[in-house]
Structures are given as structure tokens and as C-alpha cells.
Structure 1
Amino acid sequence: MNDSGDRLAGEGRIRCASLPESLKVAGIVLVPLMMQGVLQRRPWAVSLLARLDVDRWGNRVLRRLRRRHGGSSVLVNLLGRRMVVLLSPGDVHRVLEGSPQPFTLDNREKHASLSQFEPHGVLISTGPVREARRAYNEEILDTAHPVHRLGETIGAVVREEAGVLLGNARAAGGVVTWPLFAESFWRTVRRVVLGDAARDDVEVTGELSRLRADANWSYLRRPRPRVREAMMRRIRTYVGQGQAGCLAALVAATPAGPDVDPVGQMTQWLFAFDGAGTASFRLMALLATHPEQERRADADRTGQLDYLRACVLDCLRLWPTTLVVLRDGTEPIRWGTVTVPAGTAFAAPSSFLHRDEELLPYAHRFAPEIWLDGTADDNWSLIPFSGGPGVCPGRNLVLLVTSVLLAELRREHRFTLRSRPALTPQRPLPYMLNHGAIRLGLAPR
């Protein structure tokens, strides 16, 4: 086998895929991605594609494509839409660090979807307006700080709801299922973002879920302004209440410029927590089946949250909740010997990059240590929260909530995996894991 330098000899170049290659990328990589639902997962599709192990086939296609083109990323043409599929960490680095210019986050497909429920969101904003909205998001979410200024209050909310979840699980025969976990997690999220009064307001997150399901169809589904306005009225009500200790209170108290639309930013915060819940539940299954990591998570109470943060990050590496990171070129871009026209899409397929067995010796195993020992630092194959100037501004808040939740659930209880597939350190982990089918047994320590 060649070394990584030989395998990526074409890094920094773009080759044009043939028509058969483009059709294979579309059929085996992109169609399954869209079937799952980019913004709202379709349970039936996730279940089916996990059984078929579709990501394994998609990764094989992209790996062979990279080899065939000398290690370079490839330009595919799909029904007149040009897309560069980024297949090397160096190329991912160039695009993500080059955002928002000349690689805008306001990708055409992303805009068509997100505009249906967050038309003023920072992810589809450009120019000075984007800068103002990004700065506002970072201020409210405390992007630069590992622990949010409301960390103590948020921690208390997370621990309280974890206790309720454990009580409900005991009442259900000592079994934690995805519906039980998701119900509890969304109660936590509503309290963190909107305040205690929103704890049981399933309508506000239900309306968001319906809008996201429609947005999965991008151009093919008309927006539903009445549903969005009903959701926004609810969110504005909670901001108006200004209950202390939640993000809504910070929004109410923080001045914003005329183009920011502070309340309009909050739908993205709710949306972003969805993947955190999925990752947390998958991680519970991983820790239940990986004794070494389980012991480490329980051994050092002083460093427990740091280790659990690393566990969450590696779970997001193994099974990304952002299936593809998208940018569009705003101008013609010279790339090696090729000039890529303005308007071309650039796609970083995270499920391939995170499991690139030719570059990552830990590709198919649970390896939280890489997020602690420097291995993951500056590795542009690993983008669980995107990267560069467009990195998720809520990264630290999400990691705080999930690590505190997992620490509290494990404080006096152990979990066992009672569903398939079996997860074990002795075998490569599956490319896909249907979180909806996970069943965890609960027992006191």
C-alpha cells in the first residue's frame, strides 16, 4: 500500500469525472443522502439504508474515484449543476478556510431549504449582514468559551431532566428507547433555549420539525408561511417573557443591529440541538459496549466532562449528523490547471472523510483519545462541526449540554445494549447506526 503522500499526490488539483462516474456518485452517494433527509431524518429511510449498509458502498465509490484520479478531488456534472466533491483534507481546508469568500456558506441548495424556516439565518446570509448576524450568534452562544456564561443554570436544567428520564425508564421496565430519550432531550432543549415555560411546549418544536421535513425537498416543496409564523409567534412570546437563565433571556437583553433579526436566529439553535440528541443516544450505546472507554469515562471525575466531550466528538465522527458540508464558489476559482466557474458547488462528504481508512488508522473504531492528545488538531478530514470561519457557533454549548447529560445519566446507573447491531471493540464499527432502533437496559451501579 502506498503512503498517504502518494495516495494524495493529486491534492490541490481537480479532475473532471466521466459521465458514468458522475452517475455513480449521484446514485450511490447523493441519492441515499437525500433519502435520509438532510434537515429532518426520515426514520424509514435511515432504517432501510442502515440495513443495506449504503454508506459502505458510497465510501467505496469515492475511494476508488480518488485513486482513479490520482488523489485529486473531482468535478461532477449532475443535470447541469456543477459540483466539486472534496476528497482530500487539503482541499477541504482550502474551501472551509476560504469561507465566506470566495466560498460562500449560502449554497444554492442550502438556501432553498433553510429559507423555508429561517430566511434570516446566518447560514444563508452574505456580506455585512452575515457578519452582523454571525457576531450576534457568537455573542449569545458564547462561541469562544468552553463553558457558557449560563453554564451553571444550564447544567442544573440538564441534570433535572436526566433524573426525570431515568425515572420514566424505570417505570418502563428499565429500558431506554429512542422515543423516551428524544422526548426528554427536547424538554431539555426547550428549557435551555426558550426557558422553563417552554418545557412542555411540544408544538413549537413540532412546528419546526414539520418545516424541516418540508425543507428536505428543497426546491420541490412550497414554503408553509402559516406554520412558520405560528412557530415564530411562540418563540417571540418566550423572548418577551425574558425568563432568566435561558438563551431567550439573553436575546431579550442584548441589543442588535437592524438587519440581525435576533429572534430569527433562534430556530437554528433549536435545529442544531437535534443532531446532539442523536449523537448522545448513540454514544450511550457505544459506552455500554466499550469497557475501556466506559472505565475512563467513570474513573476520573475531575476530567469526566472533558473526556465525555471527546466521546461526543468521536461519535459525531463515526456517524455524522451533518451529512455533507456545502459551499458555493462566488467567482471563478483557479484550482491546479482547472478554472472552476463561479456558482460551482463544493461538497465535503463527512461520512467519507471521517471514515477514510486510507488516511485514518482509527477510521472504524471508537477513538475519543484523538480529541485529547492532539491527533485531531488541524486534521481537515474531521469536521463534525464544520470548520474555518463557518464553524458552528454553538459547538461549545452543544458539547456542554451533552457531556453534562451523559455524566448525570451515568452517575448512578449503567447501561447495556439490548438491540442490534452488536457494537464491539473487536470488530469495525458499522458505517451507519440507526439510532431509532437502539434499546438500552438500565441498571443501578
Structure 2
Amino acid sequence: MAVASRLDTVRAVTRVLLPTVAKGVVVRRPAVMGLAERLQVDGSAIATMRALRARYGPEPLRLRITGRSVVLLLDPHDVERVLAESPEPFALATREKRAALEHFQPHGSLVSRGPARDRRRRFNEEVLRPGRIDAAAVARDEADLLVRHAASTGVLDWEGFAQAWWRLARRIVLGLGARNDDALTDDLKTLRQHGNWAYLHPRRDRLRERFDRRLRAHLDRAEPGSLASLADPDALREQVPHWLFAFDAAGIVTMRALALGGEGAAGILEAARLWPTTPVILRESTRPTRWHGTVLPRGTTFIVFTPYFHRDPDRLPYADRYAPEIWPHPDDPALVPFSAGPGVCPGRDLVLTTAGTTLDALRAGLSFPHLDAPLPATLDHFRLRFPVTRSAPARS
């Protein structure tokens, strides 16, 4: 297994990893996203990854980071292996992930290991199982209100979309009684902003306790038709912060799919391929593992930089264009907009239903311009703003 030179390690850190961290790994930073779009930092990162593969070959590349064993994956089949063999021996609960998410979800499945992780994962899969609530009906209802608002102003921008999206998310998760509780998700956003800094930001226990109290009041109501009605409030309290966190990413993907002119679930999957909301997937080995003749020690961090695998022109002829035809069964194992293997997002189907329904409802109700190929490597959703007109009703 090759070891990167010190210069190439610096290149990997400064051109691939640091820009990703700067944009915000838990909640996006608007100013940095705007700069990242102007500089097209993801294009530079993808080019750096391609250069590393050309220089060192397809095997995992060890970075020279003092005191750590860190490996950058460069081949789709290695991505497939590390995701298929999670959580043992490749744990999802890496030290960086724990430091970030413990600011607002210290008992979530993503920061758990062993039996606790297994129990929490089963709980997520059961509650988020498709068909348990009618998320599509909520999405159509909120999308209709957004169509009316956008048609009256002539503009659909991120601010207006995000307000409608959070009302939708709170209704699905907690019920109609939470629809207008902006304070709940504002507090969660602040906690997530602290999570961006991981180890470097002190805990804000009072803020988290205030968020917990508001959340518990909604969970105790257990409103029929919401996820809150499907399980015990104490168990839900451990997982709901991450569900709301995930809805933020789903909203970003939906807005970008609108910019593409996308349709349905395939449109959502393509937006997540082109601009991954989880640009870095991390795994941490729980025991020594053999890779291409080299034994890597326990505690090795494996890095999957998804923009490279999703938009590598050396492998993907459709890298920089909208290609909904590849879904739902892409021919490349490293196309993982919702991760893959045992660690695949348990809310994948719920997200695709909610986001796809919203996307189609907005497209049916509004007409607006779309992005053309080649599509940018970095797309700042905060700056998306569409002039819109009301679509003519379809003739029967």
C-alpha cells in the first residue's frame, strides 16, 4: 500500500478535507458556501483526487498525519468493502463524528457502538419503515402553500423554500402541533453549529436542555399521523434530533433538484449524486485489517470523499450532467448518496418519498429556468433564486 509524500498529504488535506470542513459538516455556513461556489472548490478537490490516483494507483493511500493512521480510498471496490463491512470492523462512530454529534445527539445510533448501536439502529429502521405515515400527503399540502406564495411574489428562493420545508419536516416528525415551532429547530440549528467545531466548541448544556424540553412536549403529545405517534417518547427523544438534522440535508437536495429540473425520486438521487450532502463518509477500524497485503492498525480512519466518486470523469461518462436514467440501480458501487451497506441511511425511503413528492408538486405548480450542463462542481443552495410563474393546469 502506498504512502503519500508529505507534499501530497498537504495537498489532500488542504484541497480536499479542509474545504469540506470549512463549508460545515453538520450545518452549512452561508458565507463559506458562497466562496466555495465562486472558487469551485469541489472541482479542485476532485482534480486532486484524480491526480493522487494517477500518481499512486487505485489502492488505499495512507496519509502522513502524525499520531494517526488515516487512509484515503481511491477505488470504488474499496468503498464497497468498507461500507459493506460496517459497523464491524469498520465502525460508523468515529472519534470525529462523536465529537460533532454529541453536541445535540449524544445517544444517536451514528455515535453508538456494540449492542447499543444495534438496538438503536433497529429502532430507526422500524419507525422509519415506509408506509407507516402518509408523508406524501404532508408534502403535497405544504408544497401547495409554497406554490401559492411563490406565484404571488414571482420568486422562489432558498429562504422561502426552507421555511416551508421546516414546517413540512416538523409536521412529519412531530405532528401539526409542531408545524410553526420555529424555536425548536432554531435551537437545534444552534447546537448543530456548535457541532461544526466538534472538540473545539464547549458544550451548551442549558441550550440542549431547553431544546429537549420543547422536543419532549411534542413527543408526549404523540400526534396521530406523525412519527412521534409510533414509539415510546423516551426512545424517540434519543433519535429525533438526527431525523430533523437529516431533513435539513434533504431540503438542500430538493432545492438543488429543482435547479436541475429533476423529477421524482430519480431527481432527488441525482441531485445528491452531483452535490453530496455527506461529502465525506468516515469509518474507523475496530481491529487490525488487511488491505492489499498491508495490515492497518486498529483505529485507522478510512475516508471516502464522495464528490470524487460521484463525479469522476475517468469512470463516469455522465459525471457532470443530469443522468436520472442510472437510478435506482447504478452500475458503480461508489455511487452512494445515502451511504450503503448496513450503515445505509434508515430514512432513505422516507426522504425519497417526501422530497420527491415535494419536487414534483413544485414542478407541477410553477415554471422556472433550469441549470444546463456541464453542471458546476459546487452549488451554493443559499444563493438559488428562481423567477417563477404559475404553471397552466394540465388539460384532462
TM-based fold match above 0.5 = yes
Partner in structure 2 of residue 190 of structure 1: 170
Confirm or deny: 8 A CA contact 1:26 1:78 kept in the other structure: no
Does 2:91 correspond to 1:108?
A: no
The one of 237, 249, 254 equivalent to 1:275 is 249
Counterpart secondary structure, 1:16:
coil
Aligned residue for 2:112? 125
Mapping for residues 121-270 of structure 1, pairs under 5 Å:
121-142=108-129, 147-151=130-134, 154-172=135-153, 174-252=154-232, 261-270=235-244
Are the aligned partners of 2:228 and 2:236 in contact in 1 as well (CA < 8 Å)?
Answer: no
Decide whether the 8 Å contact of 2:147 with 2:365 is kept in 1: no
Aligned to 1:40: 27
What is the RMSD of the two structures over their aligned residues, measured on CA atoms? 1.4
1:359 equivalent among 315, 319, 327: 315
Equivalent position to 1:319, from 255, 275, 280: 275
Secondary structure of the 2:193 match is helix
> Which range moves more in the overlay, 66-75 or 33-42?
66-75
The residue correspondences of 1:288-367 to structure 2 (distance < 5 A) are 297=263, 308-367=264-323
Q: Deviations over 1:363-409 (max 9, x none)?
A: 1110011004x4x05x2220100111000000000000011111211
Number of the residue aligned with 1:10: none
Q: Secondary structure at the match of 2:93?
A: coil
Determine the structure 2 residue equivalent to 1:28: 15
Deviates more, 1:69-78 or 1:112-121: 69-78
Kindly state the Cα deviation for residue 16 of structure 1 after the two structures are TM-superposed: 1.0
User: Is residue 258–residue 363 contact of structure 2 (8 Å, CA) maintained in 1?
Assistant: no
Deviations 1:259-286 (A, max 9, x none): x843111111000011111111111111
- Partners of 1:45 and 1:212 lie apart in 2 by 16
- Residue 397 of structure 1 is matched in structure 2 by 350
- The one of 23, 32, 40 aligned to 1:53: 40
For 1:86 and 1:71, how far apart are their aligned partners in 2?
8
Tell me the TM-score normalised to structure 1 length: 0.85
Distance 1:277 1:43 in 2: 15
Equivalence for 1:16: 3
Aligned partner of 2:380 among 434, 439, 442: 434
The count of aligned residue pairs is 391
Contact 2:91 2:113 in 1 (8 A): yes
Instruction: Give the conservation status (yes or no) of the 8 Å contact 1:120–1:261.
Output: no
Residue 81 of structure 1: CA displacement?
A: 2.6
Residue 79 of structure 1 and its aligned partner are, at CA, apart by 4.0
TM-score by length of 2: 0.96
Aligned residue identity for 2:314: E
Say whether the 8 Å CA contact 2:109–2:120 is kept in structure 1. yes
Q: Can you give the 5+ residue segments of structure 2 that lack an aligned partner in the other structure?
A: none
